[in-house]
Amino acid sequence: MSEVRIAAEPRTEFGKGAARRARRAGKVPAVLYGHGTDPRHITLPGHDLMLALKTPNVLLRLDGVEGADNLVLPKAVQRDAIKGFLEHVDLLVVKKGEKVTVEIAVTLVGEIAPGGVLNQELVQVEVETEATHIPDGVEFSIEGMETGAHVTAADLKLPNGVELISDPETLVLTVAAERTDEELEAETTSDTEAPAEPEAVEGGEEKAEAAAE
């Protein structure tokens, strides 16, 4: 579980104008909440935060925050839709021994048997885990899996102390039969066929003329 120290500064100005000024100064507005306390508004250094967030479910140790509530988990990250820079982040205060709900990556290892096509339906799974021991992800071996096989969330072997929150019946992956050259050719031919001309409706011209009169 990764933990990154990052400097935080109290935020006293609010509103869109203040947020834009903070971003121009290379800082990201953030809200700190949790444990029944009132939300606290801070700013974080944009570059350092961007690097930290490259690690999923990273824990941040905030320097400059009063009191002991300085270990946080990013819960909602807003980015500019076009340029991708960080606009705002919500931070949840966590403590050692506390349970949190997060999403972790599902990584497939190995190779399926020849003649099959792998379809991964689920790339992340929601789990409950201890806040300071969030796993990087969960691996599942697909070695030798044959056509017709399927895996659900319940089949994933989670680390000790980690509980599945996602629906156990959710499909993680399926192995379908490889399509033959004839099937692919038939599909290509069907896609390239010109649509049929619409049939003329008998008397349609006369009806249109009558309506216009």
How many whole angstroms from its chain centre is CA 127? 14
Residue 102 β-bridge partners: 127
Identify the band that residue 68 occupies on the pLDDT scale cut at 50, 70 and 90: low
Please state, for a pLDDT cut of 90, what percent of the chain lies above it.
Answer: 54
* Token output for 177: 């039969």
Q: Which domains does the chain have, with CATH numbers?
A: 3-95 (2.40.240.10), 100-191 (2.170.120.20)
Residues 22, 126: Cα–Cα separation, whole Å: 33
Q: Is the pLDDT of residue 12 over 60?
A: yes
pTM: 0.73
- 72-129: pLDDT as tens digits: 999 989 888 888 889 899 999 998 889 999 999 999 999 999 989 999 999 999 999 9
Residue indicated by tokens 């971003």: 23
Q: Please indicate whether residue 153 or residue 194 has the higher confidence score (pLDDT).
A: 153
* Token output for 23: 């971003």
